[in-house]
Amino acid sequence: MKITIADTVDETLRNLAVFFVETAQRNIQEKGRFSVALSGGSSPKKLYELLVAHHAHDLDWKKVHFFFGDERYVPHTDPDSNYLMAKQTLFDPLFINPLQVYAVDTSLEPKQAAEAYTETILKFFNGEKLSFDLILLGLGDNSHTASLFPYTSILADDSQSVKEVFLNDQGVYRISFTAPLINQADRTAFLVYGAGKAEAVRHVIEDPIDIEQFPAQLIIPVNGYLDWFLDRAAAAELSMHY
């Protein structure tokens, strides 16, 4: 595990943008394509804007295939849709061909949407290991990542797949990669910034294992490559020096 702590949010975003571009360039050079699963929520929006503003000419975007590590069970036109946010901030400004974007079909029932997305992933990897070149993750202040929320049944799921998750407190479904699927990735990077995340960062990185309370502790890539991109505020409660 590698933890990169920057003094400011902007520097944190710049560090991850460079990591994204270098990872993409390496994969495109070696394999002719780059597969990435995007995170949702609010934090990655600024990352996508930075990629457009400063890295539009740094890689061959036609060779990038975009997936979603999780999605809210809402139409693609809903302001809560992770797909919509990525479309507006990343895909449209970069003129990404829709064939390079693999969205969750939220017009299906939640279980069917999850199964269909698993099928999409299986088809993309065509019998090879289900290993994305990069999975981007965020961290909720309740220590969830993707849509692996505390005390939900998906936490015990040992399949490399996509599952529907019902959030009792919000009364909504989400669709999420399981932890075993995330852990197959070649590179995995958390983007976390702001003081509001400091406690969760400490729980996940330094506290004793308690998966039900701190689901992001499930993220242990099989190849060991796990990067955290934090700002000083999000790292404030860590006791070790990184």
Cα(122)–Cα(125) distance, integer angstroms: 5
Q: Assess 137 for contact with ligand LXAUTJHC (CB under 6 A).
A: yes
Q: Which two tokens stand for residue 36?
A: 């990435």
| CB atoms inside a 10 Å sphere around CB 22 | 12
How would you label 117-129 residue by residue, b for 16+ Cβ within 10 Å and e otherwise?
Answer: bbebbeeeeeeee
Binding window for ligand LXAUTJHC (CB under 6 A); candidates: 34-42, 48-56, 105-113, 203-211: 34-42
**What's the min distance (Å) between Cβ of 98 and ligand LXAUTJHC?**
21
Binding window for ligand LXAUTJHC (CB under 6 A); candidates: 7-15, 57-65, 135-143, 199-207: 135-143
Amino acid at 88: Q
Sheet harboring 162-167: ordered strands across? 70-72, 172-177, 162-167
Instruction: Say which residues have a Cβ less than 8 Å from residue 79's Cβ, sequence separation at least 6.
Output: none
Cα(201)–Cα(48) distance, integer angstroms: 22
51-70 binders of ligand LXAUTJHC (CB under 6 A): 70
140-179 binders of ligand LXAUTJHC (CB under 6 A): 140, 145-147
Q: Assess 221 for contact with ligand LXAUTJHC (CB under 6 A).
A: no
Query: Which residue in the set 23, 27, 43, 160 belongs to the binding site for ligand LXAUTJHC (CB under 6 A)?
Result: 43
- Binding positions for ligand LXAUTJHC, rule: CB under 6 A: 39-43, 70, 82, 137-140, 145-147
